[in-house]
């Protein structure tokens, strides 16, 4: 009997220890249920009509308004280089002096011929004064002198071609020839760039061109395209924005590239500090303001076979899938082209947990509150 009581006591102690070691199952089950209910919470909102700014980006190439090749006008030795690479020059400044031996000798010969014709004319006039020769002979020598002087002027003009001058204010590029070199006629000596105004070229798709063209005001030249409610900016290769704005007007070239479907646009940027140089690259940003655009959070949409949908909640709390058309995509917002209006209620939180035809219990939040905290893209 005593042994039986000892065994019972020992079993009671063991059962107590086992009960202490087991986890509290009931509280955990309640916590999981509460978490599951929280996960099932559906939040509904409506689209919002407001002004938004969309930005379209285009890779661009930066060109000087005037960029020319400076060439030798005559063959000869490069006697003098009066400029350095990267130097700013003024219109009319002498850049190079080329000495063509042939034209120098020709000028000297023509001057000698003119001097000889002048002497002959003086002698003939003296003889005419004495009545030895006729007036006709004097006029003949006058014509010879005029002819000789014309040849001198021509030779001087050809010889002046040896001075290569700047046709406009600009920046000298790399020197292609060194002093003392024998240069040929029309050989490139350097290039000259006028960087006061920069032409920035970028390619625009055909569909985007028609979009811009539809907003073109009447009475404008066909080569000039005004973009209402738009602002053009230039981002440089290091990611910084160029300080001068590009206005709201672009120049459109005449033809499309039928291989790419693009047409070149040109925006003009003043360059007062000379920061921009010919040949640079960057990105053109066209900021366009859309008034009263209908916007929804990207998070409230889902995609099926490359088409975008939302769940719309009816007055009876039943949800139905609806196709929408996206006009523009912002960081975490879609600007709609069609499919919704500001009175429609759409599922914002819990899109993955809703099926077409479900009847929902939900929490409604104003769109202003939703958009204030948007940081996520579509699921």
Q: Tell me, what's the pLDDT at 40?
A: 57
Q: Tell me, what's the pLDDT at 9?
A: 58
Task: Report CA torsion sign: 12, 13, 18, 20.
Answer: positive
The C-alpha atoms of residue 277 and residue 347 are separated, in whole angstroms, by 52
Among 362, 345, 338, 333, CA closest to 54: 333
Q: How much is the average pLDDT of 279-301?
A: 93
Tens digit of each residue's pLDDT (9 = 90 or more) over 294-320: 999 999 999 998 899 999 999 999 999
* Confidence tier at 29 by pLDDT (50, 70, 90): very low
Q: Are 335 and 327 in contact (CB under 8 A)?
A: yes
Among 241, 246, 92, CA closest to 168: 92
Domains of the chain: 41-51+291-372 (2.40.420.20), 56-65+194-290 (2.40.30.170), 73-100+162-186 (2.40.50.100), 101-160 (1.10.287.470)
Checking if the pLDDT of 21 tops 70, the result is no
Q: Of 9-18, 118-127, 138-147, 235-244, which range is least confident?
A: 9-18
The answer, as to whether pTM is greater than 0.95, is no
Q: How many CB atoms lie within 10 A of CB 269?
A: 21
Q: Are 340 and 346 in contact (CB under 8 A)?
A: yes
Decide: helix, strand or coil at residue 168. coil
Q: How much is the average pLDDT of 194-198?
A: 95
Tens digit of each residue's pLDDT (9 = 90 or more) over 54-91: 899 999 999 999 999 999 877 888 889 999 999 999 99
Q: How much is the average pLDDT of 372-379?
A: 58
């Amino acid at each position: 009997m005593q042994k039986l009581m000892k065994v019972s006591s020992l079993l009671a102690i063991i059962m107590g220890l086992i009960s202490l070691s087991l986890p509290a199952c009931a509280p955990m089950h309640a916590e999981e249920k509460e978490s599951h209910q929280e996960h099932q919470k559906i939040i509904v909102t409506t689209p919002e009509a407001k002004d938004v700014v969309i930005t379209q980006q285009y890779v661009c190439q930066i060109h000087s308004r005037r960029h020319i090749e400076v060439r030798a006008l005559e063959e000869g030795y490069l006697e003098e280089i009066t400029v350095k690479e990267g130097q700013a020059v003024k219109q009319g400044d002498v850049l190079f002096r080329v000495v063509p031996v042939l034209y120098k000798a020709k000028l000297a010969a023509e001057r000698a011929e003119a001097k000889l014709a002048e002497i002959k004319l003086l002698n003939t006039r003296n003889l005419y004064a004495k009545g030895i020769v006729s007036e006709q002979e004097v006029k003949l020598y006058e014509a010879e002198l005029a002819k000789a002087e014309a040849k001198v002027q021509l030779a001087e003009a050809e010889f002046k071609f040896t001075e290569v001058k700047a046709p406009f204010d600009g920046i000298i590029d790399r020197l292609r020839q060194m002093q003392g070199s024998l240069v040929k006629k029309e050989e490139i000596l350097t290039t000259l760039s006028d960087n006061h105004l920069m032409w920035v070229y970028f390619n625009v798709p055909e569909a985007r061109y028609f979009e811009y063209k539809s907003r073109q005001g009447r009475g404008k030249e066909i080569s000039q395209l005004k973009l209402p409610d738009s602002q053009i900016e230039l981002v440089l290769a290091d990611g910084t924005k160029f300080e001068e704005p590009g206005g709201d007007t672009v120049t459109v070239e005449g033809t499309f590239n039928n291989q790419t479907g693009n047409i070149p646009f040109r925006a003009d940027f003043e360059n007062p500090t000379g920061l921009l140089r010919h040949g640079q690259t960057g990105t053109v940003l066209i900021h366009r303001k859309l008034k009263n655009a209908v916007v929804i959070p990207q998070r409230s949409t889902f995609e099926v076979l490359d088409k975008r949908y939302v769940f719309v909640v009816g007055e009876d709390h039943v949800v139905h899938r609806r196709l929408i058309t996206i006009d523009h995509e912002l960081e975490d917002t879609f600007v709609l082209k069609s499919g919704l209006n500001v009175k429609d209620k759409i599922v914002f939180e819990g899109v993955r947990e809703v099926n077409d035809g479900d009847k929902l219990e939900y929490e409604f939040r104003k769109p202003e509150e939703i958009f204030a905290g948007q940081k996520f893209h579509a699921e």
